[in-house]
Amino acid sequence: MIGKLKGIIDSQGEDYVILDVQGVGYIVHCSGRMLQKLPRPGEAATLAIETQMREDSIKLFGFISETDRHWFRLLLTVQGVGAKVALAIQTVLDAAELAAAIGCQDKAAISRAPGVGPKLAARIVSELKDKAAPPGTSGMAGVWLAGLDGGKPAAAQDALSALVNLGYGRSQAMAAVADSVAALGEDAPASELIRQGLKELAR
């Protein structure tokens, strides 16, 4: 099993990249979002790899972070979600946004992905709501598990409400507030979290 590859970006396709590792070109399938984040051809890259073995093929799926690979694995545990659908979801939602969507049961956000209907989106948020903490529970996951959508912290809840009132989607705003709390600390006042959240949303 291959867990990580480090090499040079050779070329990119519609849903894959060819990574040259000491003269061997590995075809690694990636989400559209991941492909946009990868270095240009000729530059070095390190990818966390998920290997899928079938009777007639071996497929490699690549991720820039362990957190992204963790989400891919979680999505595959849901009935009806294959690798293609999981990558489609990770194309429209990054890890923080996906955690936020599941945390607040935002089926609409997940159903934006091609191939994901309302029933499958409902199954995803239902089955993953208690499993969706990435390793280390940092960033979005740490805040979500601390109760961002529940009873604490109050400043984060206020910031979340403010961003939603400004017209941002709930899962999008939740991810921004989570990143803001991770950057500024859980004791940061709502005003600072709102300011930082707007910066996150403007990126």
pLDDT per position as a tens digit, 30-67: 999 999 999 999 999 999 999 999 888 899 999 998 88
pLDDT per position as a tens digit, 70-114: 899 999 999 999 999 999 999 999 887 888 788 777 888 899 999
Of 85, 68, 76, 75, nearest to 34 by C-alpha is 68
pTM for this structure? 0.70
CB 16 within 8 A of CB 39: no
What pLDDT, on the 0 to 100 scale, is given for residue 146? 44
pLDDT-derived band at 188 (thresholds 50, 70, 90) equals confident
Helix H or strand E encompassing 11? strand 4-12
What pLDDT, on the 0 to 100 scale, is given for residue 132? 54
Integer-rounded Cα Rg, in Å, for the chain is: 18
Give, as one character, the DSSP assignment of residue 78.
Answer: S
Domains of the chain: 4-64 (2.40.50.140), 67-202 (1.10.150.20)
pLDDT-derived band at 153 (thresholds 50, 70, 90) equals low
